[in-house]
Amino acid sequence: MKDSSRPEAAVSRVGVIGIGVMGSRMAGNLLRAGHTVVVYNRSPKSVEKLVSEGAIDARSPEELARTCRIVILALTDSKAVESIVMGEKGLVHGLSPGSIILDTSTIDPGTAVRLAGTLREQGISFLDAPVSGGPEGAAAGTLTIMVGGDRDAFDRSQEVLSKVGKNIFYLGASGSGQRVKLFNQALVGVEYLGIAEAFLWAKKMGLKIEDLEKIIPISWGDSPVFRHFASVVSSGELKGGSSIKNLNKDLGIILQTAKQDGVQLSMAELARRYASRAVELGYEDLDASTLYRLLDKVRTPVS
Ligand SMILES: NC(=O)c1ccc[n+]([C@@H]2O[C@H](COP(=O)([O-])OP(=O)(O)OC[C@H]3O[C@@H](n4cnc5c(N)ncnc54)[C@H](OP(=O)(O)O)[C@@H]3O)[C@@H](O)[C@H]2O)c1
């Protein structure tokens, strides 16, 4: 392990795995709050900035796990979480009994329940702790966090969770945090699509984004999604935010979970069709606000 020359702080040590849009910001807040932060990312380049700010770089999840009793995950999907936790050099091989994994990724509730069950047998707590608030909330440390799993582990995680989020909710058994997050994402997906459609219309009417940015946040059409959309569109910064691939993935989990529950979500289905078309067209790494460009391009609704 490449340790930094920084003296060990007298505060708890936290591991962060998945140094993407969300994980990099969470790790930065933990560092600034005085924690010793150990980071791991599949593509090593992403950890360089955090290491220059004092983070310690681990070469594998297993290596990270040998020195941390609390580990935050901020990974794309279930497959990534599964491989980081249970894979060949996964966390499970290094964590000691009593350790806690806080999974802030948005994944399907079934995987969260299964991993929590498997790890419980080894004395390790796996909490589903998905977040909302976007890159802005992650940077400001004001994320909303929805937690499911062992109550005692949740209580022991409070100090760490409070450094990355502001509104932290314990919701009950494993998977219940993910279920509330999916509900939130169903609203977010439909909202992105509605905003994209209305924005294209606004352009045709000759309205200016600067005016909408001033007026909508003090009107009933306001939402954090609209404010994020407006800031992305007016800045022209279309990469590195709330990606279309993540929205597409979330909508996929939502539809699969709703199907298992015997429920049809027609609006979420429509949003999914646009999000997956955007991925097919190569927009996957762009911010979900870019869906308005797709709508403009295809002209007729995706059926
Ligand atoms: N961005 C948002 O606004 C937002 C808000 C709330 C929740 N979320 C959720 O938070 C999670 C992270 O989102 P993000 O925006 O930070 O995504 P991101 O920037 O794309 O980062 C994803 C991270 O997952 C890693 N990863 C992906 N597949 C992997 C695999 N098979 N094995 C190991 N590592 C893997 C990536 O590593 P590489 O660098 O090597 O690719 C990267 O570090 C997602 O579940 C997302 O749905 C995102």
Is 1 inside a domain boundary? no
Is position 195 within any domain? yes
Distance between Cα 18 and ligand 1 center (Å): 6
Confidence of residue 3 (pLDDT cuts 50, 70, 90): very low
Is 276 touching ligand 1 by the criterion CB < 6 Å?
Answer: no
The protein residue whose alpha carbon is closest to atom 5 in ligand 1 is 134
Shared domain for 102 and 190, answered yes or no, is no
**Ligand 1 atom at minimal distance to the Cα of residue 240:** 19
Between these two residues, 230 and 297, which has the higher pLDDT value?
Answer: 230
Same domain, 20 and 166: yes
For residue 282, what is the domain's CATH number?
Answer: 1.10.1040.10
**What is the arithmetic mean of pLDDT over 214-221?**
97
Domain boundary among 154, 173, 192: 173
pLDDT greater than 70 at residue 301:
no
Whether residue 196 sits in one domain with residue 139:
no
Instruction: Decide if pLDDT at 302 tops 80.
Output: no
Please indicate whether residue 83, judged by its CB atom, sits closer than 6 Å to ligand 1.
Answer: yes
Residue 74 in contact with ligand 1 by CB distance below 6 A: yes
Q: Tell me how far the alpha carbon of residue 4 lies from the centroid of ligand 1, in angstroms.
A: 25
Ligand 1 pocket member 43 (CB < 6 A): yes
Residue found under tokens 């939130």: 184
Distance between CA atoms of residues 118 and 129, nearest Å: 17
Mean pLDDT of all residues in the chain?
93
For residue 4, the model assigns a pLDDT of 40
Measured at the alpha carbon of residue 51, what is the angle toward residues 45 and 53, in degrees to the nearest 5?
A: 130
**Domain end call among 173, 201, 225:** 173
- Residue 6 belongs to some domain of the structure: no
Cβ atoms of residues 153 and 127 within 8 Å: yes
Q: Does the active-site annotation cover 181?
A: yes
pLDDT in tens, 117-157: 999 999 999 999 999 999 999 999 999 999 999 999 999 99
Total number of domains in the chain: 2
Q: In terms of domains, do 148 and 26 share one?
A: yes
90-104: burial string, b at 16+ Cβ within 10 Å, e else: bbbbbbeeebbbbbb
Domain of 224? 178-298
Please determine, for residue 245, whether its predicted confidence score (pLDDT) is greater than 60. yes
Q: Are residues 30 and 161 in the same domain?
A: yes
Of ligand 1's listed atoms, the one at least distance from the Cα of 241 is 1
Give kind and range of the element (H or E) at residue 56: strand 56-57
By mean pLDDT, which of 105-109, 121-125, 284-288 is the weakest?
284-288
Choose the catalytic residue: 2, 45, 49, 181: 181
Q: What is the pLDDT of residue 11?
A: 41
CA dihedral 18, 277, 288, 220 (to 10 degrees): -140
Quote the ligand 1 centre to 106 CA distance (angstroms).
Answer: 9
The share of the chain scoring above pLDDT 90, in percent, equals 87
Please check whether residues 108 and 185 belong to one and the same domain.
Answer: no
How far is residue 266's CA from residue 179's CA, in Å, rounded to a whole number? Answer: 18
Residue 2 pLDDT > 80, yes or no? no
- What is the CA(284)–ligand 1 centre distance, in A? 13
Residues 289 and 227 in one domain: yes
**pLDDT band with cut points at 50, 70 and 90 for residue 9:** very low
Examine the domain organization and report whether 57 and 167 are in the same domain.
yes
Does 6 sit in the ligand 1 pocket, CB within 6 Å?
no
Per residue in 179-195, pLDDT tens? 999 999 999 999 999 99
Show which of 173, 198, 218 is a domain's final residue. Answer: 173
Domain assignment present for residue 166? The answer is yes
Gap from CA of 77 to ligand 1 centroid (Å): 7
pLDDT in tens, 246-277: 999 999 999 999 999 999 999 999 999 999 99
Mutate to test the pocket of ligand 1, among 22, 26, 108 (most ligand atoms within 8 A of CB): 22
Q: How many helices (H) and strands (E) does the chain have?
A: 13, 9
pLDDT of residue 158: 95
User: What are 128's strand-pairing partners?
Assistant: 103, 148
Q: Is the CB of 46 under 6 A from ligand 1?
A: yes
